[in-house]
């Protein structure tokens, strides 16, 4: 059955692969962008997840176009890495605002329609470093760990209404975000991955497709690693 889906940051990278994967599975998929326009074949709405008014306007456009959001994929995220000693407070709060408070904003807006429909799927894109930590990533890792508490609290609040909230924790995935790393950082990451390769955005998309499906009705409050074994043991 085709659902009404919204993927934040679905204009490129992992979000775009998730959006394309869900569209291929027969869903009506909208993506947010911040001015790049919609990717070919997808419905685009402009919204910055740090702005509640833009989020509300985007949801209204999605509702008019394809009905209330039934599957929300909260994917938009940023990094701004540096060691704690050098990390300014603004650098910390800016990453938290986009990655964690942004997820709260879109989840809250989506929850209304899901409650009315008595059906819903929240999928939050976290990261392996949310559980393992990452040197130079106090802000990013804290934001990604926060998504686990957010999703599990939502599970307790809404689990009895056919609404699930799960977290996907990707490892090292080849996108613009990881292109920004140095060759040394990339080689060090690869040495730690049991699968012996970096992840592809489509690896993450496959996990999201499952969590968004009717078949995943009894998977709730889970953290699903998609990391080639990188984070095992956490
Ligand atoms: P990219 O940098 O390639 O893309 C980031 C996406 O998020 C873009 O669509 C960007 O929009 C959007 N975005 C960023 N800030 C905002 C904002 N304030 N409001 C709305 N949209 C915003 O990253 P990836 O595709 O690699 O990452 C996607 C998600 O996966 C992120 O949450 C990231 O933390 C997570 N992740 C990535 C991993 C990796 O190895 N790549 C590993 C683990 C997790 P715009 O085009 O306008 O900038």
Residue 185 has pLDDT above 90, yes or no: no
Whether the complex's predicted ipTM surpasses the cut of 0.90: yes
Q: How many other CB atoms sit within 10 Å of the CB of residue 219? A: 14
- Ligand 1 and 170: CB distance under 6 A: yes
Instruction: For domain 4-225, say whether CATH 3.40.50.720 is its number.
Output: yes
What's the token pair of residue 168?
Answer: 């996907």
Among protein residues, the one whose CA lies closest to atom 34 of ligand 1:
77
pLDDT value at residue 96:
99
**C-beta separation of 187 from 2 below 8 A:** no
CA distance 99 to 125: 9
**C-beta separation of 77 from 106 below 8 A:** no
CA distance 187 to 118: 46
pLDDT value at residue 192:
94
* 3-state SS class at 224: strand
Residue 11 has pLDDT above 80, yes or no: yes
For ligand 1, mutation pick of 8, 9, 73, 131 (most atoms within 8 Å of CB) = 9
Taken in order 80, 166, 115, 39, the sign of the CA dihedral is positive
Among protein residues, the one whose CA lies closest to atom 8 of ligand 1:
9
């Amino acid at each position: 059955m085709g659902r009404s889906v919204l993927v934040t940051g679905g204009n490129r990278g992992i979000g775009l692969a998730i959006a394309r994967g869900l569209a291929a599975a027969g869903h009506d998929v909208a993506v947010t962008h911040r001015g790049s326009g919609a990717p070919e074949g997808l419905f685009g709405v402009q919204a910055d997840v740090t702005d509640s008014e833009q989020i509300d306007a985007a949801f209204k456009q999605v509702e008019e176009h394809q009905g209330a959001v039934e599957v929300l994929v909260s994917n938009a995220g940023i990094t701004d890495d540096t060691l704690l000693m050098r990390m300014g407070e603004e650098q910390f709060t800016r990453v938290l605002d986009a990655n964690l408070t942004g997820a709260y904003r879109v989840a809250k807006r989506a929850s209304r329609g899901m409650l009315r429909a008595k059906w819903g799927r929240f999928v939050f894109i976290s990261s392996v470093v949310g559980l393992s930590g990452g040197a130079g990533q106090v802000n990013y890792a804290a934001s990604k760990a926060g998504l686990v508490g957010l999703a599990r609290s939502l599970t307790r609040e809404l689990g009895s209404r056919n609404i699930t909230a799960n977290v996907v924790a990707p490892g090292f995935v080849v996108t613009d975000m990881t292109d920004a790393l140095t060759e040394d950082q990339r080689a060090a990451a690869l040495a730690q991955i049991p699968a012996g390769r970096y992840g592809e955005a489509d690896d993450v998309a496959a996990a999201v497709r499952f969590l968004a499906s009717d078949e995943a009705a009894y998977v709730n409050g889970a953290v699903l690693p998609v990391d080639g074994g990188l984070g095992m043991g956490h």
